[in-house]
A and B are shown apart, each in its own frame.
Chain A
């Protein structure tokens, strides 16, 4: 049973943040929620968790209305960019209260994760650095044990080591018992190998919702000498071209034509999610 939102619209004054968004997030899948700044990703996640209200449309969790419904909301956990915990609360207190609200919250696992990330559990939340703020929220999200975990910019301010550790722990947790993870991020390259389905939002509308493989199979990369690549891409739908010295890589929509005369000295590879995203969302 999924989280389902249908025809959700939301405006902030003159700005229409969401325009009839319909999305389904199924249990046991990792989603990449992608969109440019102001596309409506955070607004959508906040509506799913009842933090803000949609102007119209409906949201259901496992078939029951999600808005103002404790039972439905107890299946979702949103780690948003903004921390909603009181400034004076300590990290370990936050873990204890999370257990009070989510009975399946694994306090021991949270404390172990805090140890892995070197997070001081005696520190006040307000005193944490940007990176440790993110780590604190990530630990909550990984320990909460609910069917749907929504992560809004989860790796904000995290260094490479901590990002690596987070991906590792996330995959371990997911392998133990699959749950739905929605990763809303701008670091597409990093999550590209993690996500199974991709949702692309552009200007408040869902541009694509399909599996990563299906999305990437719509294009390919072709690399080689500048002249050969230029000849090959003539008359084809090209998303973009990268140049490095005399070498070129072109991102092309469609299926590779290895039999073409100009293809002999070229290398073909899979499409890059970030390149595809950039092309799809460029106005």
Chain B
């Protein structure tokens, strides 16, 4: 029972932010439509939206960063065990990612519909189409030919977006739980050491170009192995999410009220 209530609360906690996000991107399309008649007849005017899921990914990441503390403390206040809270989190994670994956696809389809109504004025493709569909192409700077939208493409786009968002949200949620568990000194060390590590790595690669030259092919092969096809990407994202969620649970199971 407490898991269900916790799930409801966690969904409610994210609901408004998601509504605002989709309202804003929809409003941008509406504004484009409103201003379209005022564009000079001879000027080139087009609205393109390629891979909205990339933007949604950033939004979802930030959203997940902000959901842990309030929900966790409220759960403790209401006698919800950490296990129930975590299970509810998994549920809300899946639901929110699914909702946003579907939301992204609906947004893309709306723009595609506008593309039919106003040919040459609107262009839309999902991130899945941009990455995995070979018949999507840029004909010249600023002009595109979009692929034929089929039910399969729509479904695969949703699947892609779901797993993509799942991995991002699990990662940023892990970061927020880790941040909650760290004490003040730990936080300073953690948040200073990461950028410092990147600066040092960069300096190291500049100083040792032969190392950089051998690293790039390894990374390219790794990317090819993990994300070169949709099933591979889904498995990679799922595995990454499982690892992130596992570590999150290890951190959360001994977390206490602060």
Please report A residues at the B interface, Cβ cutoff 8 Å.
46, 49-53, 68-70, 73-74, 76-78, 80, 82, 84-86, 97-98, 100-103
Given A51-B256, A51-B257, A53-B256 in contact, is the A97-B78 Cβ separation under 8 Å? Answer: yes
In the assembled complex, the Cα of A86 lies from the Cα of B78 at a distance in Å of 13
Find chain B residues with CB under 8 A from A102 CB: 78-79
B8: chain A residues within 8 A (beta carbon): 100
With contact pairs A52-B257, A53-B256 given, residues A76 and B79 touching in the complex (Cβ less than 8 Å): yes
B73 within 8 A of A: yes
Q: Which of B161-185 contact A (CB under 8 A)?
A: none
Minimum CB–CB distance from A107 to chain B (whole Å) comes to 15
The minimal Cβ–Cβ distance linking A64 to chain B, given in whole angstroms, is 13
Q: How far is the CA of A240 from the CA of B42 in the complex (A)?
A: 99
- Determine whether B9 belongs to the interface, using a CB cutoff of 8 Å to chain A: yes
With A46-B257, A52-B256, A97-B74 in contact, is A68–B83 under 8 Å at CB?
yes
User: How far is A49 from B78 in the complex, measured between Cα atoms in Å?
Assistant: 9
Report if B5 contacts A (CB, 8 A). yes
B77 interface residue, CB < 8 Å from A? yes
Q: Which residue on chain A has the smallest CB distance to residue B81?
A: A68
Contact: A101 with B256, CB < 8 Å? no
Report the separation of the CA atoms of residues A51 and B79 in the bound assembly, to the nearest whole angstrom.
Answer: 9
Whether A84 and B257, one on each chain, are in contact in the complex, defined by CB atoms closer than 8 angstroms, is yes
26 A-B contacts (beta carbon < 8 Å): A46-B257, A49-B79, A50-B76, A50-B79, A52-B256, A52-B257, A68-B82, A68-B83, A70-B80, A70-B84, A73-B80, A73-B81, A74-B79, A76-B79, A84-B74, A84-B76, A84-B257, A85-B73, A85-B74, A86-B13, A86-B70, A86-B73, A86-B74, A100-B5, A101-B80, A103-B1
What is the total of A-B residue contacts with beta carbons within 8 Å?
Answer: 66
Chain B interface, >50% SS class? helix
Whether the Cβ atoms of B77 and A84 lie closer than 8 Å is yes
The residues of A that contact B9 with a CB separation of less than 8 Å are 97, 100
Closest to A79 in B: B77
Q: A74-B1, A80-B257, A86-B70 are in contact. List 18 more A-B contacts (CB 8 A).
A: A50-B79, A51-B76, A51-B256, A52-B257, A70-B1, A70-B3, A70-B79, A78-B77, A84-B257, A86-B73, A97-B5, A97-B9, A97-B74, A100-B5, A101-B5, A101-B6, A101-B79, A101-B80
Q: Tell me the smallest distance from the CB of A242 to a CB of chain B, in Å.
A: 41
Give min CB distance, B251 to chain A, whole Å.
14
For B, the interface residue count at a CB cutoff of 8 angstroms equals 23
Proximity bits, B227-258, A CB within 8 Å = 1, else 0? 00000000000000000000000000010110
Contact B2 A85 (CB under 8 A): no
B179 to chain A, nearest CB (A): 17
* Residue among A46, A52, A98, A103 having the largest count of chain B Cβ atoms under 10 Å: A52
The reply to whether B2 and A84 form a contact with Cβ atoms under 8 Å apart is no
0 or 1 for each of B78-107: is its CB under 8 Å from A? (1 = yes): 111111100000000000000000000000
Q: Which residues of A contact B73 (CB under 8 A)?
A: 84-86
Taking the nearest CB of chain A, how far is it from the CB of B37, in angstroms? Answer: 41
A100 to B8, CA, bound (A): 9
Q: How far is the CA of A74 from the CA of B13 in the complex (A)?
A: 22
Nearest neighbor of A47 in chain B, beta-carbon distance: B256
- The 5 A-B pairs with the shortest beta carbon distances in the complex, nearest first, are A73-B79, A101-B78, A84-B77, A51-B257, A86-B70
Q: How many angstroms between the C-alpha atoms of A53 and B84 in the bound complex?
A: 17
* Contact B254–A70 (Cβ < 8 Å): no
> In the assembled complex, which residues on chain B have CB atoms less than 8 Å from the CB atom of A76?
79
Complex alpha-carbon distance, A139 and B79, angstroms? 17
Please name the residue on chain B nearest to A144 by beta carbon. Answer: B78
* Chain A residues with CB under 8 A of B1: 70, 74, 103
CB distance from A154 to the nearest CB of B (A): 15
Residue in B closest to A100 when the chains form the complex, CB atoms: B5
A70 to chain B: closest residue by CB: B2
Name the one of B2, B70, B82, B83 contacting A101, with C-beta atoms under 8 angstroms: B2
Q: Which residue of A lies closest to B6 (CB)?
A: A101
CA distance in complex: A78, B77 (Å):
7
Q: B residues within 8 A CB of A82?
A: 257
**Docked pose: A103 CA to B79 CA in angstroms:** 13
